[in-house]
Amino acid sequence: MALQMKRSWNELASDDEADDPSDEQETEDWSASSAVVLSPPSSKDTSQPYYGASSKCVPQAHSNQNEHKRTIVHVDLDCFYAQVEMIRNPELRTKPLGIQQKNIVVTCNYVAREYGVTKLMYIKDAKEKCPNLVLVSGEDLTHYREYSQRVSDLLQSEFSTLVEKLGFDENFVDVSSLVEDRLKAYQGKPKMEVKGHIFGSENEGSSSQCSCGCHQRLAVGSQIAGEMRERLKEVIGLTGCAGIAWNKLLAKLVGERHKPNDQTTLFPGREQQLMIGLEKARRIPGIGHSMNKKLSTLGITTVLELQKASSAELEAVFGSQITAMMKNSSFGIDKSPVNKTGPPQVLKAC
């Protein structure tokens, strides 16, 4: 039986973008989070998505074809605050730019990054790396809110009514209906090519085809993601990355693979490779600072260790529901829907 859990992706994001997940980033724990998750299986039941710590088997991601019916695009804007300031003042485009809040560079453009400046760096350290760094105050969030809303409105008015904002710079878009419409129109035509990168194809060849038709759906989804990014650049002037998968968690994580201004598609059969590649369990959305601390006391720091950990041991610390969410997420399982964020508004000319 599935458990109903409160898991709001909106509570997992900060106001600014998440370019490179790190321990410095604060992510809310699942105790403040909404999704349908699987009941925790017995630690001895190896037919379920995860195993007990005593199992000698290396866990394999189990993917139900019924879970592949959705096509989700995660759009993540590049260095969002900095992009907004460069649109407002084009002279800043060629200069190393940092957005300052108190004594921290909350984000910076890619010119500044070439000098070694990173987000969440102290102003003093950033100035040592790049003496000519231009700093713009980011204390007033008004302009960032306006641009963030315009992005969501464009996605909702042109691509799908199911758009969920995640912070200021990220959006989940469920394009399942649009994909189905296009597949009907494509009948009898050559298969749609994937736009952008395919996760895992660089070093392991193409993944095995699933019989449910998800490969074609995701390929069409990648074309739609490319159109989204083109429209955001054309209408608003913002570039961004995109991840395409059949659930929100995987779409978000795979979209981080190629930055900036690029996109990556994940096909079924690659979930385990993606999740294990994260290495740190802390990089799984939903595992915040305090939860990660508790995992560390249990000797769990990597995704693989979390997958193989004893459910009973985890439940003693986190309870059965949080344990189930943590375990399932470690395998890339996420049944949470894309929850529509507000009605679309009329777009203003940029």
What is the residue-wise DSSP string for 102-132? TTEEEEE-HHHHTTT--TTEEHHHHHHH-TT
Q: What is the pLDDT of residues 140-196, one digit of tens each?
A: 999 999 999 999 999 999 999 999 999 999 999 999 999 999 999 988 777 789 999
Residue 345: per-residue pLDDT: 54
Lowest mean pLDDT among 30-34, 210-214, 284-288: 30-34
By DSSP bridging, strand 134-137 and strand 97-101 are parallel
Residue 207: per-residue pLDDT: 53
Whether 108 has a pLDDT exceeding 50, the answer reads: yes
Residue 188: per-residue pLDDT: 73
Whether 66 has a pLDDT exceeding 80, the answer reads: no
Q: What is the pLDDT of residues 78-103, one digit of tens each?
A: 999 999 999 999 999 999 999 999 99
Whether 42 has a pLDDT exceeding 90, the answer reads: no
Q: How many residues does the chain have?
A: 350
Adjacent-strand bridge partners of 280: 302
Q: E-assigned strands of the chain? A: 3-5, 35-37, 72-77, 97-101, 104-108, 121-122, 134-137, 163-166, 170-174, 197-198, 240-245, 263-265
Q: What is the pLDDT of residues 201-242, one digit of tens each?
A: 765 444 566 878 899 999 999 999 999 999 999 999 999 999
Estimate to the nearest angstrom the gap between the alpha carbon of 83 and the chain centroid. 19
Distance separating alpha carbons of residues 315 and 41, to the nearest angstrom: 12
By DSSP bridging, strand 170-174 and strand 3-5 are unpaired
Distance separating alpha carbons of residues 125 and 118, to the nearest angstrom: 10
- Asked if 205 and 63 touch (Cβ cutoff 8 Å), the reply is no
DSSP 8-class letter at 145: H
Establish how many alpha carbons lie within 13 A of residue 251's alpha carbon, considering only the half-sphere containing its beta carbon.
31
Residue 187: per-residue pLDDT: 84
Residue 191: per-residue pLDDT: 76
Whether 139 has a pLDDT exceeding 90, the answer reads: yes
260 cis-preceded (ω within 30 degrees of 0): yes
- Asked if 63 and 70 touch (Cβ cutoff 8 Å), the reply is no
To the nearest whole number, what is the mean pLDDT of the chain? 83
The residue with greater pLDDT, 262 or 16, is 262
- Asked if 130 and 116 touch (Cβ cutoff 8 Å), the reply is yes
Residue 85: per-residue pLDDT: 98
Contacts of 280 (CB under 8 A, 6+ apart): 23, 301, 302, 303
Distance separating alpha carbons of residues 259 and 253, to the nearest angstrom: 12
**Distance spanning both ends of the chain, measured CA to CA:** 49
Which of the residues 170, 193, 305, 313 is marked catalytic?
170
Residue 53: per-residue pLDDT: 33
Whether 338 has a pLDDT exceeding 50, the answer reads: yes
Residue 342: per-residue pLDDT: 72
Residue 49: per-residue pLDDT: 44
Whether 323 has a pLDDT exceeding 80, the answer reads: yes
Place of tokens 């508790």: 294
Percent residues over pLDDT 90 in the chain: 72
Whether 37 has a pLDDT exceeding 80, the answer reads: no
DSSP 8-class letter at 194: P
pLDDT band at 33 (very low <50, low <70, confident <90, very high): very low
Question: Using DSSP, how many helices (H) and how many strands (E) does the chain show?
Answer: 13, 12
Adjacent-strand bridge partners of 36: 4
Per the annotation, the verdict on 170 as an active-site residue is yes
Which is it for the CA torsion 107, 112, 113, 115, positive or negative? negative
Residue 330: per-residue pLDDT: 97
Adjacent-strand bridge partners of 97: 134
| Beta carbons within 10 angstroms of residue 300's beta carbon | 22
State both tokens at 233. 């650049």
The residue with greater pLDDT, 202 or 264, is 264
Lowest mean pLDDT among 32-41, 103-112, 220-229: 32-41
